[in-house]
Amino acid sequence: IVMTQSPATLSVSPGERATLACRASQSVSSDLAWYQQKPGQAPRLLIYGASTRATGVPARFSGSGSGTEFTLTISSLQSEDFAVYYCQQYNDWPPYTFGQGTKVEIK
């Protein structure tokens, strides 16, 4: 399954809303996770099951969608949220597959 994320780069001002998209080449039901990766760090699980926040993830992060279209929304960007975000499907494996990432940068 090919995962396609858009846009590649998103320029957002602190305090604004960010909306990231992820599309699957075929249905993955709700078996979709989102990760955040900061430079020099390992990815961090944010969302699983398309919309369930992982332990300790702030409420400003929310996920939605099912089937082939998914969205990660960050309601009010904080300075620590500028990072690269990856979606990943775990419905049809092996292999599990990731999107190519969306970089959220400061506008």
Which are the contacts of 95, defined by CB distance < 8 A and separation ≥ 6? none
Confirm or reject binding of residue 23 to other proteins (CB under 8 A).
no
Confirm or reject binding of residue 33 to other proteins (CB under 8 A).
yes
- Considering the complex, what minimum distance in angstroms separates the CB of residue 74 from other proteins? 19
Q: How many CB atoms neighbour CB 2 within 10 A?
A: 11
Stretch that binds other proteins, among 10-18, 38-46, 60-68, 71-79 (CB under 8 A): 38-46
Residues in contact with other proteins, total (CB under 8 A)? 24
Query: Among 2, 31, 8, 25, which residue's Cα sits nearest to residue 98?
Result: 2
Query: Among 87, 82, 68, which residue's Cα sits nearest to residue 9?
Result: 82
Residue by residue, what is the 3-state secondary structure of 50-82?
CCEECCCCCCCEEEEEECCEEEEEECCCCHHHC
Site string for other proteins, 60-89 (x = CB under 8 A): --------------------------x-x-
Q: Which position among 10, 22, 31, 70 is part of the footprint of other proteins (CB under 8 A)? A: 31
- Considering the complex, what minimum distance in angstroms separates the CB of residue 67 from other proteins? 17
